[in-house]
Structure 1
Amino acid sequence: MVLVASKQRGFTLVELVTVIVLLGIVALASTQFIGQGMNIFVDTSRRDSLQQEGRFVVERITREVRNALPGSVRTSGDCLEFIPVVAGSGHIDTISGGSIASFRAANFSFPNCASGSNCDFSGQGYRVAVYTVDSASVYPLAPPQIADLDSIARC
C-alpha cells in the first residue's frame, strides 16, 4: 500500500479577517435593530404613563367640580377656580329684605357639628350661599346671596 501525502487544507489569514469583519457588521446591524425596538418600547411606556396621569387628573377635577357651588366655577389665568360645597340643604322660609343673616333651613348634616346641638363656626371661614346661579351672584363673596356662617342653631 502506498500512502500518498494529502494536501493540508485550511483558512488563510485573509479569509479569517474577512469573516470576522462580516460578523462584526451583522452584529452591529442587529444591535441597532434591537436598540431601536427598545427605544420604541420605552417611548410607548412613557406615553402610556402620561396618558394615565392625564386621565387621573381629569377625573379628579371632574369629581371636584361636580361638588362646586353652582355659579362659582370660573377660570383665573391658567387656573380653574371654584368654591367647594361642604354641606347642602333647602331653605324653609323665604329670604326677604336682601339679607341672609338669619333663615330657617331643612335639617342637614354639617361636618364637625354634633347632632342635636348648636354649632359655632365663627372665624372658621364657612359661608352660606343661597340661590347662586352665576358667577355674578357668587363673586365677590358678599351679600345678598352669600354670608359668613357664624353658627347653626338646631330647631
Structure 2
Amino acid sequence: MISRQSQGFTLIELIMVIMVVAFISIGIGRFVSLGTEGYLQTRDREQLQSQARFAVERVARELRDAVPNSLEVTDDENGHCLAFRPIQYSGDYVNPSLTHIDVISGFLTQTAAPIFETNMMVVINPHKPQDFDVASDQVAKVTAINKGTAANQWQFELDGQHSFSSGSLSQRFYIYTQSVRFCLEDNSLTRTTIDNSGIESQPVLLAQYLDAKMSAFTLDNVALVRSALVAWQFTFTRNGESSRYNHTVQVMNVP
C-alpha cells in the first residue's frame, strides 16, 4: 500500500501567515510614519526658527543705521509698518552759519569718497518725521558733491539758497537717498524701499507664517536721557506650534 504524503500549505496556514505579515507591516509602517512625521515637524520648526532669527536680525541691523528721529510706525493699506530713512553719509559741518547758504561743507565719518545720487537729501537737526518733508526748513536737496580743501572734507551743493531753521549742537548732518518700510501684512513680513521722489520698489518677502494679530512694532521716541527705542514682537505660527520673539533696539544716532 502506497502512503500519501502531504504537500503545500493549507488555507488556514496561508490565512495565518497573511495576518501575521499584515500585523508586522502595519507596525513597521506606523513606525516609519512616526519617524517621518517627526522629521518633517523638526525640519519645519527649524525653518521657522531660522527665518525668525533672520527677520529679527535684519530689522535690528538696518535700524542701527537709521537717520535720527526718522522712524515712524503707521497702520495703512500696506499693513502695520515701521518706516525710517537709512543713513547714506554722515559727518560734521563747518559752516559758520546755516542762513542763506547754498553749500554744506563738512567732514564725513566715512573714509570712502561719497558718490552723488539723484534725489540725495541732506537733513540737519531733525526732531520728528515731519522734519523730513520737502517743505521743511530742516532738509535740502543735494545737486552735486565736490572735494573740499582739507582731507576728507566735502562740499555738498544745494539746489539754491537755504536757511535751516535750527542747527545741530554737535554740528552733525545726515545724507539719505531713500526710506525703508518693514510691513506686517497677510501673515508675512516685507521690506520696501521708497526713493526720495516717491518711487517704490516691489516688496521683498523676509518672513512668512507670522500671526499678524500677535505681532507689532512699537516706537518709544527720543527722550532727554536716551535715544529712541524700537521694539517689536513677532509671533510665528505653523502646524499648530507658535514661537514668539521680542526684540528692542536703541537707535544711537542723534541729531
The normalised TM-score by structure 2 is 0.46
Q: Going by fraction, where is helix more abundant, 1 or 2?
A: 1
Where do 5+ consecutive residues of structure 1 fail to align? Answer: 114-120
Superimposed CA distance per residue, residues 121-154 of structure 1 (whole angstroms, 9 cap, x where no aligned partner): 6xx100101112332433x244322111123342
Q: State the match for 2:85 in structure 1.
A: 83
Correspondence list, 1:42-81, <5 A? 42-77=40-75, 78-81=80-83
What is the count of residue pairs matched by the alignment? 139
Among candidates 9, 29, 32, match of residue 31 of structure 1: 29
Q: CA deviation at 1:40?
A: 1.6
**Percent identity (aligned):** 26
Q: Distance in 1 between matches of 2:38 and 2:108?
A: 59
Structure 1 range deviating more: 12-21 or 43-52? 12-21
Q: Relative to structure 1, is the Cα distance of residues 135 and 102 closer, same or farther in structure 2, using a 3 angstrom cutoff? A: same
Letter in 1 for 2:126: T
SS of aligned partner of 1:112 = coil
Structure-2 residue corresponding to 1:125: 119
- 1: CA distance, partners of 2:30 / 2:40: 15
The question of whether the paired residues in 1 share the 8 Å contact of 2:123 and 2:139 is answered with yes
* Residues 72, 134 of structure 1: 8 Å contact kept: yes
The structure carrying a bigger strand percent of its residues is 2
Partner of 1:19: 17
The change in CA–CA distance for 1:80 and 1:126 in structure 2 (over 3 A counts) is same
**Amino acid of the structure 1 residue aligned with 2:30:** Q
**TM-score when scaled to structure 1?**
0.72
> In the alignment, is the contact (CA less than 8 A) between 2:89 and 2:108 conserved in 1?
no
Unmatched runs of 5 consecutive residues or more in structure 2: 150-255
- CA distance 1:41–1:100, change in 2 (3 Å): farther
Question: SS at the partner of 2:107?
Answer: coil
- CA distance change for structure 1 residues 80 and 100 in 2, over 3 Å: closer, same or farther? farther
1:104 aligns with 2:97: no
Query: Shift of residue 64 of structure 1?
Result: 1.3
Whether the aligned pair in 2 keeps the contact of 1:68 and 1:83 (CA below 8 Å) is yes
| Distance in 2, Cα, partners of 1:141 & 1:68 | 19
The separation in 1 between residues aligned to 2:124 and 2:19, in whole angstroms, is: 84
- TM-aligned CA deviation for residue 105 of structure 1: 2.0
Which residue pairs with 1:118 in the alignment? none
User: Contact conserved, 1:100 with 1:143, CA < 8 A, in 2?
Assistant: no
- Counterpart of 1:116? none
- Aligned counterparts of 2:19 and 2:108: Cα–Cα separation in 1: 87
